[in-house]
Chain A
Amino acid sequence: GAVVSQHPSWVICKSGTSVKIECRSLDFQATTMFWYRQFPKQSLMLMATSNEGSKATYEQGVEKDKFLINHASLTLSTLTVTSAHPEDSSFYICSATPSEGQFFGPGTRLTVL
C-alpha cells in the first residue's frame, strides 16, 4: 500500500514553455502533498505544501506565480512550472501523506533547453 505515482517521469521542453507534473496517491487519500526539488548531487528542498481544497503554502524563496500548485482532489496534486527556463531544470519529487508517514513518488526529471 501507500503508492505514489508521478507523471511524466521525465520531460524536455523549450525555454519559455510551461510544464505540468502530476502527483497521484494510488491507494490512499492524501490530505497533504508536498513538492520537493532536488538539484544534481544535492539534497531535497521543500518547495511547497499542498492541502486539498486550499491554497498551497510556499517555502521562502519559491515563486508561487512560477510554480503553480493545484490540489483539487484527495488523490491528485499538480505542479505547473510556468515559463520554464534552464535554471528550472531539476528533479521534482512529490510526497503524499494519508495521516501518518510520507510516501514519495518516483520523481520527474525536467530538462529545459
Chain B
Amino acid sequence: GEDVEQSLFLSVREGDSSVINCTYTDSSSTYLYWYKQEPGAGLQLLTYIFSNMDMKQDQRLTVLLNKKDKHLSLRIADTQTGDSAIYFCAESINFGNEKLTFGTGTRLTIIP
C-alpha cells in the first residue's frame, strides 16, 4: 500500500528558512500536497504540485519534487511565529474526488 513518511519535528529560528521533507512510495501518485494544521484545528491546504512539475513557488512557499527519488519538500522562507504548526504532506492519484494518503506530520517549532 501507499506509505508517506516525514520527520516528526523541526525547530527553526525566526527569520530563517524552514525545509520540511517527505518521502512517498506510490509511484502512481500524481498530485502531492502540503497541508498545515494549527492546534485543535482542521487542515488548511497550503499548496500542491502535479507530478510532471519539479518546482512550484507561491510567495514564501517553495515546493520541490524529485519524482525519481519520490521525495517532496516544502521550503518556507523567512519563517514567522505564525508558521508554528504541524505540516502534513499527502498524495493522491486524482485531484480532489479521491482519498488522500497523509504523511505522519512534521511539527514545526519557531525559536524566537
Contacts and interface: CB of A to CB of B under 8 A. Distances in A.
Interface of A: 4, 6, 31-32, 34, 42-46, 49, 93, 95, 97-107, 109
Given A44-B102, A46-B99, 10 more contacts: A32-B97, A42-B105, A43-B104, A44-B43, A45-B102, A49-B99, A95-B100, A99-B97, A101-B96, A102-B96
Interface residues of B, number: 18
A107 B97 contact: no
Give the one of B42, B44, B100, B101 with max A CB within 10 A: B42
Given A42-B104, A43-B88, A43-B103, A104 B42 contact: yes
A42 B107 CA distance: 11
5 contacts: A4-B42, A42-B105, A43-B88, A44-B88, A46-B99
A107 B96 contact: no
A98 B100 CA distance: 15
B42 A106 contact: yes
Interface of A is mostly: strand
A109 B97 contact: no
A93 B100 CA distance: 13
Main secondary structure of the interface of B (DSSP, over half): loop
Contacts of B41: 106-107
Contacts of A31: 97
B45 interface: yes
B40 interface: yes
Contact of A34 (B42, B44, B99, B105): B99
Contacts of A104: 35, 42-45
Nearest to B89: A43
B29 to A, nearest CB: 15
Contacts of A98: 96
